[in-house]
Structure 1
Amino acid sequence: MIGKRYLIIITILLLISPIFGVWLSDLVGYAEPLDHVAETLQLNESEFNWTPFKDYTVPGLPDEVGYIVAGVIGFTIFLLLTYTFAHVGGRKSS
């Protein structure tokens, strides 16, 4: 299982992530490079947007909270996949 120290560090990083992903990106006018490509090619975002969380937001929540929720969901998926592959790999090598 994941250690308590790592869980604390990950929690702190998730809580401060909106500082960089929402506030500072708005302050400096940052946009994803693929957004610039889509604009140049005059593509409609709905044509290629397959993600459940557009721009790391959750409908009905403030952007900052949605950013944290998207991070928690992403980290949880990462952990589940890691443990799944570790157990499958462990069974084959035994």
Structure 2
Amino acid sequence: MKIISMSMDSWIQRAALMLLGLVIVAPFFGWTASIVGYAEPLENAAKMTGATDAAMNLNPGVLPDYTVGGFSGPIGTLISAGVGTVLTLIVAFGAGRLLES
């Protein structure tokens, strides 16, 4: 049983390092998307059909456009990536605990 526990810890550490790496490079991806003019396909479709004119923004979201108010673009994106990753992990671990019981 101890061997399984050690390999699980190693797997968790590698996964945590991978997630940390992705969080750190998230601002770079945001910057490159702005350089090449990337826009979300659903937003493009809404603009082409005129749906954006009739849209009402009832809830802008927790972190709209992957930013945090009061922080510059890359820093806001970095904070947003970290918060999103932590929230996703909390939900995933919570669901895992529920499924175990």
Which TM-score band applies after superposition, normalised by the shorter structure?
Answer: 0.7 to 0.9
RCO higher in 1 or 2 (8 Å CA, sep ≥ 6)? 2
List 4+ stretches of structure 1 deviating above 6 A.
Answer: none
> Is 2:62 aligned against 1:67?
no
Task: Write out per-residue CA displacement over residues 30-71 of structure 1, whole angstroms, 9 at most, x where no aligned residue.
Answer: 111122123221525972454121210111101111111111
Q: How many residues align?
A: 90
User: TM-score scaled to structure 2, two decimals?
Assistant: 0.73
**How many Å separate the matches in 1 of 2:99 and 2:28?**
38
**Paired residue type of 2:97:** H
Question: How high is the sequence identity, in percent, across the aligned residues?
Answer: 24
Q: Alignment RMSD, CA only? A: 2.3
Specify every segment of 5 or more residues in structure 2 that has no aligned partner in the other structure, as ranges: 1-8
Specify every segment of 5 or more residues in structure 1 that has no aligned partner in the other structure, as ranges: none
**How many Å separate the matches in 1 of 2:20 and 2:54?**
32
Q: 2:28 aligns with which of 3, 14, 19?
A: 19
Aligned to 1:55: 65
Aligned to 1:32: 40
**How many Å separate the matches in 2 of 1:25 and 1:11?**
20
User: TM-score scaled to structure 1, two decimals?
Assistant: 0.78
Rg bigger for which structure? Answer: 2
**How many Å separate the matches in 2 of 1:45 and 1:60?**
29
Contact residue 38 and residue 45 of structure 1 kept, 8 A: no
